[in-house]
């Protein structure tokens, strides 16, 4: 059986190599994203909306970074870079009376970081509540709509539920004060307590300079069939097993650790980015949350993302044709991954790779510095522009926010 698998893989690698050479000899023709997705991807938001940025005391943002600069590089850093981008963006207005949207720059993922650099969001609801109380008491615009024309960046594992464990995030729920506002968040899962209607799902932050510094020649053969580096178990937070990643990562390891087609390990080599560029398929399983930076890395490095996260809502889904560029595998089907992936016809693999070469798609997944047209910053603005005009519904006058709602610990002063 192993010999048959190996021979099949050699055949596939040969076919893909021949096609890749042809592809690169023809001026690296890329396949344009078809239909409305391609148009949305290339939209220019400038001139379609104006954003007023509240000037908050530095304790809510800048001082957090000064105290611990690690939050500039973790996967939750979109809240920092979006603030910096907006301060110099042509969509910014200094006149709140002409604003379409209001932005409150609060760095909740910088409040407290573990020794490993991961944010603990336990104080985030109090921090966010404090910021909202400040803008509501200092400016008239929050009270005018109960926050309906305000947006917040909440890049935690489960967004504005502010917890990294799903059960506890569900128990806490979205911060009640944010129920009318638009949430811009990395978390996206259908029919979930922590995703409210109208939210904008964005990619996690991946350092663009670091990614670009690891690019290898585009005609490098993809000699790895399936690639994954990361945890399969989280013995510290899930000592009994089965809860972390809903068992999907454990199933990958238990079924394929000895399979020669699967290059999987908990090691994180210095050649990680280069290895992804040598791989055909990159596994993107859920962890504590359904999303991870592997989605960004796979797209940028042209590795077909194998998405294992039931009911996930992917970043910028109206602009990026995830069904065309990726492969979706149900969590229950992980034990059959080898059969599923070896059954994908070479011509389908090649089409996905041609789409992944499209520079517009790569750009949309990155928070570039300096910002570039079509990048993740602009895709967020596109999402906000498409929600205009606001519907000034009486529901916001009648459904007044309850400032004392939520867990007792969350309403304590910050």
CATH of the domain at 332: 3.40.50
Domain count, the chain: 2
Distance CA 121, CA 157 (A): 9
Q: At what angle do helices 376-385 and 78-87 cross, to 10 degrees?
A: 80
- Kindly report the number of other CB atoms within 10 A of residue 20's CB atom: 17
Which residues span the domain enclosing 165? 51-205+375-388
Residue 403 domain flag: no
> Where do runs of H (alpha helix) occur along 111-161?
124-138, 141-145
- Tell me the sheet residues that pair with 344: none
The model's confidence at residue 346, banded by pLDDT at 50, 70 and 90, is very high
The answer on 382 and 320 residing in a single domain is no
Of 315, 337, 335, whose CA–CA distance to 327 is shortest? 337
The answer on 355 and 283 residing in a single domain is yes
The answer on 197 and 60 residing in a single domain is yes
Pair 178, 149: CB distance under 8 Å: no
- What is the layout of strands, in order, in the sheet containing 262-265? 262-265, 224-229, 279-285, 304-308, 327-328
The answer on 184 and 304 residing in a single domain is no
CA-atom Rg of the chain in angstroms: 22
Place of tokens 């910050």: 414
Share of the chain above pLDDT 70, in %: 89
Q: Would you call 186 exposed, middle or buried from its count of C-beta atoms within 10 A (0-12, 13-18, 19+)? A: buried
Q: What pLDDT was estimated at residue 201?
A: 97
The answer on 302 and 355 residing in a single domain is yes
The answer on 153 and 71 residing in a single domain is yes
Residue 175 domain flag: yes
Residue 400 domain flag: no
**Residue 197 contacts by C-beta under 8 Å, 6 or more apart in sequence?**
none
The answer on 316 and 245 residing in a single domain is yes
Distance CA 39, CA 319 (A): 8
Q: What pLDDT was estimated at residue 338?
A: 97
Q: What pLDDT was estimated at residue 351?
A: 97
The model's confidence at residue 240, banded by pLDDT at 50, 70 and 90, is confident
Residue 345 domain flag: yes
CA atoms within 13 A on the CB side of 21: 5
Strands 224-229 and 262-265: parallel
Distance CA 221, CA 211 (A): 19
Q: What pLDDT was estimated at residue 9?
A: 55
Report how far apart, in Å, the C-alpha atoms of 76 and of each of 67, 90, 255, 267 are: 17, 25, 31, 22
Pair 248, 308: CB distance under 8 Å: yes
Q: What pLDDT was estimated at residue 389?
A: 94
What does the pLDDT average to over 265-290?
96
> Where do runs of H (alpha helix) occur along 173-247?
208-212
Whether omega for the bond prior to residue 163 falls within 30 degrees of 0, making it cis, is no
* Chain segment 370-390, per-residue pLDDT in tens: 999 999 999 999 999 999 998
The answer on 262 and 216 residing in a single domain is yes
The answer on 212 and 142 residing in a single domain is no
Q: Would you call 263 exposed, middle or buried from its count of C-beta atoms within 10 A (0-12, 13-18, 19+)? A: middle
pLDDT at 101 over 60: yes
Residue 73 domain flag: yes
The answer on 170 and 102 residing in a single domain is yes
Q: What pLDDT was estimated at residue 150?
A: 98
Please provide the average confidence, as pLDDT, over all residues in the chain: 90
The answer on 165 and 72 residing in a single domain is yes
Distance CA 252, CA 256 (A): 6
Residues 117-147 as b or e (16 or more Cβ within 10 Å = b)? ebbebbbbbbbbbbbbebbbeeeebbeebbb
Residues 344-379 as b or e (16 or more Cβ within 10 Å = b)? beeeebbebbbbbbbebbbbbbbbbeebeebbbbbb
24 or 97: which carries more pLDDT confidence?
97
Rounded (5°) CA angle 75-81-82 = 110
* Chain segment 1-57, per-residue pLDDT in tens: 555 455 455 545 544 554 444 444 334 455 655 555 556 787 889 999 999 999 999
Q: What pLDDT was estimated at residue 400?
A: 84
Q: What pLDDT was estimated at residue 1?
A: 52
Q: What pLDDT was estimated at residue 165?
A: 86
The answer on 119 and 60 residing in a single domain is yes
Residue 23 domain flag: no
411 or 193: which carries more pLDDT confidence?
193
Residue 370 domain flag: no
- Kindly report the number of other CB atoms within 10 A of residue 339's CB atom: 9
Residue 343 domain flag: yes
Distance CA 288, CA 349 (A): 29
pTM of the complete model: 0.90
Q: What pLDDT was estimated at residue 243?
A: 86
Q: What pLDDT was estimated at residue 170?
A: 95
> Where do runs of H (alpha helix) occur along 139-287?
141-145, 166-172, 208-212, 248-256, 272-276
**Residue 82 contacts by C-beta under 8 Å, 6 or more apart in sequence?**
153, 184, 367, 377, 380
Q: What pLDDT was estimated at residue 25?
A: 35
- What is the layout of strands, in order, in the sheet containing 51-53? 51-53, 101-103, 150-153, 182-185, 200-201
What tokens were used for 218? 């585009």
Q: What are phi and psi of 186, to 5 degrees?
A: -75, -25
**Residue count of the chain:** 414
The model's confidence at residue 214, banded by pLDDT at 50, 70 and 90, is very high
């Amino acid at each position: 059986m192993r010999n048959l698998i190996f021979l099949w893989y050699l055949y596939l690698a040969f076919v893909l190599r021949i096609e890749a050479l042809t592809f690169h000899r023809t001026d690296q023709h890329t396949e344009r994203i078809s239909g409305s997705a391609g148009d949305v991807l290339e939209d220019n938001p400038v001139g379609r909306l104006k954003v007023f940025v509240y000037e908050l005391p530095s304790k809510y943002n800048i001082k957090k970074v000064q105290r611990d600069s690690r939050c500039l590089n973790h996967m939750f850093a979109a809240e920092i870079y979006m603030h910096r981008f907006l301060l110099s963006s042509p969509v910014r207005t200094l006149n709140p009376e002409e604003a379409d949207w209001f932005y409150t720059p609060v760095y909740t993922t910088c409040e407290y970081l573990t020794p490993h650099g991961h944010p603990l969001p336990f104080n985030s609801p109090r921090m966010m509540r404090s910021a909202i109380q400040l803008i509501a008491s200092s400016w008239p615009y929050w009270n005018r709509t109960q926050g309906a024309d305000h947006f917040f960046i909440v890049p935690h594992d489960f967004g504005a539920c502010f917890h990294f464990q799903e059960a506890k995030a569900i128990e806490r729920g979205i911060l009640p004060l944010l129920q009318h506002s638009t949430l811009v968040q990395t978390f996206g899962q259908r029919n979930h307590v922590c995703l409210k209607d109208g939210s904008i799902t964005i990619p996690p932050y991946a350092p663009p300079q670091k990614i670009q510094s690891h690019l290898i020649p585009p005609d490098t053969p993809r000699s790895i069939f399936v690639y994954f580096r990361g945890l399969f178990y989280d013995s510290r937070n899930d000592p009994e097993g089965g809860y972390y990643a809903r068992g999907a990562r454990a199933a990958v390891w238990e079924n394929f650790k000895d399979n020669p087609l699967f290059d999987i390990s908990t090691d994180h080599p210095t050649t990680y980015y280069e290895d992804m560029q040598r791989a055909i398929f990159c596994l993107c399983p859920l962890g504590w949350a359904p999303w991870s930076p592997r989605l960004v890395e796979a797209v940028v490095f042209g590795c077909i993302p194998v998405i294992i996260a039931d009911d996930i809502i992917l970043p910028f889904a109206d602009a990026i044709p995830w069904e065309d560029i990726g492969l979706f595998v149900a969590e229950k089907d992980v034990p059959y991954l080898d059969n599923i992936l070896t059954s994908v016809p070479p011509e389908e693999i090649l089409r996905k790779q041609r789409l992944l070469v499209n520079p517009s798609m790569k750009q949309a997944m990155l928070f570039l510095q300096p910002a570039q047209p079509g990048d993740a910053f602009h895709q967020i603005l596109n999402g906000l522009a498409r929600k205009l005009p606001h519907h000034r519904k009486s529901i916001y006058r009648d459904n007044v926010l309850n400032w004392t709602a939520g867990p007792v610990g969350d309403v304590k002063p910050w």
